Amino acid sequence: MAATDIAVVGYAQTPSTRRARESEVQLLVPIVTEALQRAGLDRREVGFTCAGSCDYLTGGPFAFVSNLEAAGAWPPISESHVEMDGAWAMYEAWVRLQHGDIDTALVFGSGKSSPSKPEEMWAQQLDPYYLAPLGVDPASLAGIQARALLDAGKATERDFANVVVRSRRNAKDNPNAQVAGDFSVDELLAEPYVRAPLRKHDLPPISDGAVAVVLARGDRARALCKRPAWIRGLDHRIEVHQPGMRDLTTSTSTALAARKAGYDGGPLDVIELSSTFSPQELILRDALGVDADANVNPSGGPLAANPVMATGLVRIVEVARRIVEGSASRGLAHATGGQVLQHNLVCLMEGD
């Protein structure tokens, strides 16, 4: 049994919307069912279940426990939860599968940002050492990162706008996207700043949504899926939490995770990045060393749909789906957590 013998064999996601009327678990029930059906797997056969979500988003204590009802937790199942993006739930399931005693796993990520005011809620996240509120929201930190990028001469505001134009254009082909359409760089640059030098379109939309993935190992994967998306490498690396203690214009943890995941710089048919703010796509491209004409975020990426806690796992699904459907043979997905690209995960996938 090798770590490279585990594959994505089923997936489903909700459309991303500004405000879903359904509760988080009501968003999850149909897509968990759909992902299992796509894999042709009965839920009672699932060896391990892992979910990623954040109760602070909806303000519902133990919302993550209700979410488990989407997996059918009676009779009792073997399961776990991470207060992280669903991509890290998948990482846990991938590690669990390597124990060798089970051959299938169910993973999901979900988030409803609509009930809260994200700029208020995220600022209350606690510093890991002093347990004091951070006091600063992600968009403000991304503004500082963008400024650092401009000051270093590594990018221009026009480069940021170009990322947005391409993301929104790509999103036109993604039925799950929330923001899509044709825009010109000049019209975007005429917009006012919301966190200088970032404009509203440089920020992700506020989204509600959920995503589910089914993993399987070895022969079971081949039996469940005609063309499994094999996970050739999966790794995550974290940098110091204090943004002032690192160079915000680079992402050494992404570069390291990619190397550890086995990315050798070779050709990729599809790359999906959790570039939640437009300048981050430039930083991540640079960290990964991908070609200028690489197929980055064909789904539109997080600038088109950002269901926090699902966004990273959606990247994995967007790559896996293209491999399963046969339009791609090799792809890379990236997920991020923490402040301004503090913690990064890279998943390298291939078809047979």
State the residues that interact with other proteins by CB under 8 A.
Answer: 19, 21-23, 25-26, 29-30, 32-33, 43, 56, 58-61, 63, 69-74, 114-117, 120-121, 124, 132-133
Cβ proximity to other proteins, 63 vs 305, nearer residue: 63
Q: How far is the CB of 29 from other proteins (least distance, A)?
A: 5
Q: How far is the CB of 225 from other proteins (least distance, A)?
A: 22
Rounded Cα distance between 345 and 276, Å, is 14
Pairing assessment for the beta strands 229-238 and 208-217 based on DSSP bridges: unpaired
Joined tokens for residue 73: 């937790």
Q: How far is the CB of 115 from other proteins (least distance, A)?
A: 4
- What are the angstrom distances between the C-alpha of 65 and each of 62, 72, 232? 5, 11, 32
Q: How many CA atoms lie within 13 A of 97 on its CB side?
A: 31
Cβ proximity to other proteins, 77 vs 185, nearer residue: 77
Q: How far is the CB of 89 from other proteins (least distance, A)?
A: 19
Q: How many CA atoms lie within 13 A of 161 on its CB side?
A: 17
Cβ proximity to other proteins, 74 vs 100, nearer residue: 74
Q: How far is the CB of 22 from other proteins (least distance, A)?
A: 6
Cβ proximity to other proteins, 134 vs 144, nearer residue: 134
Cβ proximity to other proteins, 40 vs 133, nearer residue: 133
Q: How far is the CB of 188 from other proteins (least distance, A)?
A: 30
Task: From 259, 239, 264, select the one nearest 249 (Cα to Cα).
Answer: 239
Cβ proximity to other proteins, 21 vs 153, nearer residue: 21
